[in-house]
């Protein structure tokens, strides 16, 4: 076939119309996958159960105060979840409905942002990563605020791209951003990074155009955001963020700012690589490919000096600064909000690389391999499991005797409380009520020594070394008659006195 015909075929395949159909198919796939995982109706795990307990035990006003059980979630998120629970009951799917809706809407918003960034030939790639990646599927179907954080981040970037400060009337601009920014603060704590970015973006535009007289229309919403966030931080966030428990829990999820030694530079670099790995793939080929894409995107940004790229670069910069100050954790689920923006950067770089002659012959097979490794299509027929406590509860009821004593290890207590006291089907587990709920990280030796002749211990979602230590303590005082392991990390140990 002549080269001209090959070129024509390539142009037809990558035409805007064809790309729209491909993008529509990918978005549909992402919707189907999220609905499939949602319908699997997996159990609530530790943090989810504790959020459910707060929502169940508190009224709307009390949900705007620091939460119990070492939890944090923004008030608007909690209010929406409570309304859903009141309407549909405190079942798993009712509690997870809002995160699901946020996950579905995020698919369309990400695509709109890719188009607004002039990423057309390569938009399919970040879109597939987002549609099929494990972290995006899990937190679109989990009772935590991470899915809504991602939606708010995308919505603010999209709003900044379409709300042109040069053409909008001043009053309309001020009202729009004051209202939207205020709502964002109360529904998503990381929104402060995006709002700061939006403010800088608009100020840069005005500075470039030497339109200094209009700076006030940026400062008015910014002052409103600052006052609201200050109140929010002092009354809700600071007591939680500065708690000894959370600082200890997140101690390995901060970075050095600034790094001084080679070891600190290596540590910080590895933290950034880990973010990239979770967002788009941990495999060596994926990391190399995506680093090349990011390098190409940086080259585009330097060469083109596009101000709009501030919107997808500054949030990551602010995030790393906050992590260096120990004010924001880099745990993957906590920084989910910034991962779609990282995918935009990857898409921007791939778009630039695809413009090079014959590059598609190499890039398309490599991107296909990366997608196959990262995508979780098997969740369409195989459930996504975290910790299925109800598997263990079934075993405990079926194998317990009249004089059985039940012990719930600390990490399993939140889910045990939810399923025996809050869930609409809690009567199903009535025989298991009154179990001894152990503190988190309890010394199992004195507990085991005081156990009666026949006992059961439910252990869930613990580190392997912790489980090993607990088992050794049980072995010193009791004889294991059976160890039941559920479909995920939960297990039940059936014990008899030595």
Query: In the chain, how long is the greatest CA-to-CA distance?
Result: 84
pLDDT tens for residues 256-305? Answer: 888 889 998 999 999 999 999 999 999 999 999 999 999 999 998 888 88
For residue 163, count other CB atoms closer than 10 A to its CB: 16
**From CA 319, how far away is CA 328, in angstroms rounded?**
7
Residue 141 belongs to what domain range?
A: 3-380
Contact 258, 321 (CB under 8 A): no
**From CA 171, how far away is CA 341, in angstroms rounded?**
29
pTM for this entry: 0.93
State yes or no: pLDDT of 11 exceeds 60.
no
Tokens representing 455 are: 């006992």
- DSSP conformation class of 377: G
**From CA 144, how far away is CA 149, in angstroms rounded?**
10
Tokens representing 16 are: 């805007």
Nearest to 198 by CA among 222, 174, 233, 232: 222
pLDDT reported for residue 7: 46
pLDDT reported for residue 436: 92
Q: Do 11 and 60 belong together in one domain?
A: yes
pLDDT reported for residue 3: 47
pLDDT reported for residue 19: 77
Q: Structurally, how many domains does the chain consist of?
A: 2
Q: Do 161 and 264 belong together in one domain?
A: yes
Q: Do 152 and 16 belong together in one domain?
A: yes
Mean predicted confidence (pLDDT) in 336-342 = 96
Q: Do 351 and 463 belong together in one domain?
A: no
Q: Do 339 and 395 belong together in one domain?
A: no
For residue 491, count other CB atoms closer than 10 A to its CB: 21
> Which backbone phi and psi does 487 adopt, to 5 degrees?
-70, -20
Q: Over pLDDT 90: what percentage of the chain?
A: 67
Nearest to 488 by CA among 457, 466, 456, 459: 459
pLDDT reported for residue 453: 87
pLDDT reported for residue 249: 67
Domain boundary among 380, 400, 433: 380
**From CA 88, how far away is CA 404, in angstroms rounded?**
35
**From CA 170, how far away is CA 177, in angstroms rounded?**
11
Which residues, in sequence order, are CB contacts of 252 under 8 Å at separation 6+?
none
Q: Do 93 and 210 belong together in one domain?
A: yes
State yes or no: pLDDT of 244 exceeds 80.
no
pLDDT reported for residue 463: 81
Contact 47, 71 (CB under 8 A): yes
Tokens representing 137 are: 């599927």
Confidence bin at 161 (pLDDT 50/70/90): very high
Q: Do 137 and 7 belong together in one domain?
A: yes
Q: Do 316 and 460 belong together in one domain?
A: no
Q: Do 414 and 344 belong together in one domain?
A: no
CATH number of the domain encompassing residue 460 = 3.40.190
Q: Do 394 and 374 belong together in one domain?
A: no
Tokens representing 196 are: 């700061």
Q: Do 164 and 234 belong together in one domain?
A: yes
Q: Do 440 and 358 belong together in one domain?
A: no
For 60, how many CA atoms within 13 A lie in the half-sphere containing its CB? 9
Mean predicted confidence (pLDDT) in 26-39 = 97
> Which backbone phi and psi does 455 adopt, to 5 degrees?
-145, 160
Domain boundary among 380, 401, 419: 380
pLDDT reported for residue 107: 97
pLDDT reported for residue 6: 45
pLDDT tens for residues 389-424? Answer: 999 999 999 888 877 899 999 999 999 999 999 999
Question: What is the rounded average pLDDT for all residues in the chain?
Answer: 90
Domain boundary among 343, 361, 380: 380
């Amino acid at each position: 076939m002549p080269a001209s015909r090959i070129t024509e075929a390539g142009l037809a395949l990558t035409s805007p119309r064809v790309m729209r159909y491909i993008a529509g198919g990918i978005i549909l796939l992402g919707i189907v996958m999220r609905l499939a995982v949602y319908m699997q109706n997996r159990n609530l795990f530790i943090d989810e159960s504790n959020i459910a307990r707060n929502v169940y035990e508190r009224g709307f006003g009390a949900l705007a105060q620091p939460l119990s059980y070492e939890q944090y979630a923004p008030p608007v998120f909690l209010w929406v979840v409570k309304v859903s629970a009141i309407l549909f009951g405190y079942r798993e799917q009712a509690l997870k409905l809002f995160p699901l809706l946020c996950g579905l809407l995020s698919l369309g918003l990400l695509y709109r942002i890719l188009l607004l960034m002039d990423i057309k030939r390569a938009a399919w790639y970040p879109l597939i990563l987002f549609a099929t990646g494990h972290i995006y599927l899990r937190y679109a179907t989990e009772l935590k605020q991470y899915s809504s954080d991602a939606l708010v981040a995308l919505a603010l970037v999209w709003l900044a791209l379409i709300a042109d400060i040069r053409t909008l009337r001043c009053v309309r601009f001020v009202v729009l951003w004051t209202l939207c920014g205020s709502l964002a603060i109360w529904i998503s704590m990381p929104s402060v990074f995006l709002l700061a970015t939006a403010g800088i973006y608009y100020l840069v535009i005005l500075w470039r155009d030497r339109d200094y007289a209009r700076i006030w229309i940026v400062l008015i919403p910014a002052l409103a955001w600052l006052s609201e966030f200050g109140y929010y931080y002092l009354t809700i966030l600071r007591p939680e963020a500065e708690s000894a428990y959370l600082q200890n829990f997140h101690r390995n999820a901060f970075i050095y700012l600034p790094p001084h030694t080679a070891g600190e530079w290596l540590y910080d670099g590895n933290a950034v690589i880990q973010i990239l790995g979770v967002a788009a793939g941990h495999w060596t080929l994926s990391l190399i490919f995506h680093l090349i894409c990011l390098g190409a995107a940086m080259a585009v940004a330097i060469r083109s000096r596009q101000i709009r790229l501030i919107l997808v670069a500054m949030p990551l910069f602010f995030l790393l600064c906050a992590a260096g100050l120990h004010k924001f954790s880099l745990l993957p689920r906590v920084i989910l909000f910034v991962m779609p923006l990282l995918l935009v950067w990857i898409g921007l770089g791939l778009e630039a690389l695809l413009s090079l002659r014959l590059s598609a012959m190499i890039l398309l097979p490599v991107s296909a391999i990366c997608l196959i490794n990262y995508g979780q299509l098997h969740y369409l027929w195989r459930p996504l499991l975290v910790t299925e406590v109800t598997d263990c509860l079934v075993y405990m009821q079926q194998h317990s005797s009249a004089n059985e004593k039940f012990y719930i290890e600390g990490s399993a207590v939140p889910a045990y409380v939810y399923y025996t006291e809050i869930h609409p089907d809690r009567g199903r587990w009535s025989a298991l009520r009154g179990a001894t709920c152990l503190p988190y990280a309890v010394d199992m030796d004195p507990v085991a020594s005081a156990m009666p002749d026949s006992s059961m211990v439910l252990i869930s979602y613990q580190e392997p070394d912790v489980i090993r230590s607990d088992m050794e303590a049980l072995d010193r005082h009791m004889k294991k008659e059976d160890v039941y392991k559920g479909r995920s990390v939960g297990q039940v140990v059936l014990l008899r006195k030595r």
